[in-house]
Structure 1
Amino acid sequence: MRKETTDSQLPGSDICCISFDLQQVLFVPKLTHSDMFYLSQLSCYNLGIHLSDTNRAFMCMWHEGVSGRGGNEIASTILKVLNSGITEEKHLLVWSDNCAGQNKNRMVIYVLVFLVLHQVFDTIEYNFLISGHSFMCCDRDFALIEKRKRVMKAIIPNIYTK
């Protein structure tokens, strides 16, 4: 993954290298008092998509009232971000972890095929990280959110997006 990222950052490169991953569940509100432990919290999901060639991160956040966190939801957020014209390159290199329920399913494959058929990209190469060696650029982006989360008391999901 490191070599492909470096190659995509070279001048004149026509390769866009992205990685995506789902962050651990963010609970709102953040409860600290023991009496509040058994109260219901809203589960928020955050899919991070990191463009390595420009070093930009896109965070797609939704809560359990909107939808779950299965393959359909992951595929639709990938489609929304990649179809929005975030890059001019025509060759896409995708990295994700080996989570079968979210990343390694036919809905994500259908979305990538759809993007090629509709000429958003000429080629797409989909790669999976080796289990146990799954540090991606998204993890750094998630670490920034976790660091900020420790000092803030989130009341609504929009606090995490700022």
Structure 2
Amino acid sequence: MHYSIDFAQQMHFPSNPLQPGPVYFLTPRKCGLFGVSCEGLQKQLNFLIDEGMSSGKGSNAVISYMHHFFTHFGVGETDVDLHCDNCTGQNQNNFMLWYGAWRVAHKLPSTLNIHFLIAGHTKFA
């Protein structure tokens, strides 16, 4: 199975939808978006993260979302190809490699190939 993962730009929405009148909000509430696209099935799962619950875009968050995805939404794949953006600044590459090694060591997939896109080419389908 082939998956692509990435964070999208934050979405903004009003923080109080019950406010009377057509008044614009000075500071809209932010919502983070992390997507896992299953290229083989042409389906995508999006994690919507409220700004109050966000722990950032670091490796802990990415691995937590991926582990939740594979545990609850995986299709029982034995071979995984995973495309990620190249986030060396947040040190996600090292931790993603360790997470992949952990999954294979526990025989969750038989093989897991992680592909990092070239810097500047971080757009997925």
TM-score range, shorter chain: 0.7 to 0.9
Q: Describe the shift of the 1:83–1:112 C-alpha distance in structure 2 as closer, same or farther (beyond 3 A).
A: farther
Return the alpha-carbon distance in structure 2 between the equivalents of residues 77 and 119 of structure 1. Answer: 19
The CA RMSD over aligned residues, in Å, is 2.2
Equivalent pairs counted in the alignment come to: 117
Asked if 1:81 is matched to 2:66, the reply is no
- Residue ranges of structure 1 left out of the alignment (5+ in a row): 1-15, 138-162
Runs of 4+ with deviation above 6 angstroms: none
Task: Give CA-to-partner distance per residue, 1:26-51, whole Å, 9 cap, x none.
Answer: 11228xxxx846x2332211111011
2:30 paired residue number: 43
C-alpha contact (below 8 Å) 1:96/1:103 kept by paired residues: no
Using the size of structure 1 for normalisation, the TM-score is 0.63
Structure 2 Cα separation of the partners of residues 121 and 40 of structure 1: 44
**Percent identity for Structure 1 against Structure 2:** 26
Pair 103,120 (structure 1): closer, same or farther in 2 beyond 3 Å: farther
Equivalent residue for 1:28?
Answer: 13
C-alpha separation in 2, matches of 1:27 and 1:132 = 25
CA distance in 2, matches of 1:85, 1:132: 30
Structure 2's unaligned 5+ residue stretches are 16-22
The equivalent of 2:18 in structure 1 is none
**Which is strand-richer, 1 or 2?**
2
Query: For the structure 1 residues 101 and 65, does the alpha-carbon distance in structure 2 shift closer, same or farther, using more than 3 Å as the test?
Result: farther
Q: Which has the higher helix share?
A: 1
Distance (whole Å) between structure 1 residues aligned to residue 69 and residue 44 of structure 2: 11
Distance 1:62 1:28, change over 3 A: same
Task: Give the corresponding residue for 1:9.
Answer: none
Contact 2:5/2:84 (<8 A) preserved: yes
Match of 2:95 among 107, 112, 133: 107
TM-score by length of 2: 0.79
On the 8 A contact 1:71/1:101 being kept in 2, the answer is no
Counterpart secondary structure, 2:36: strand
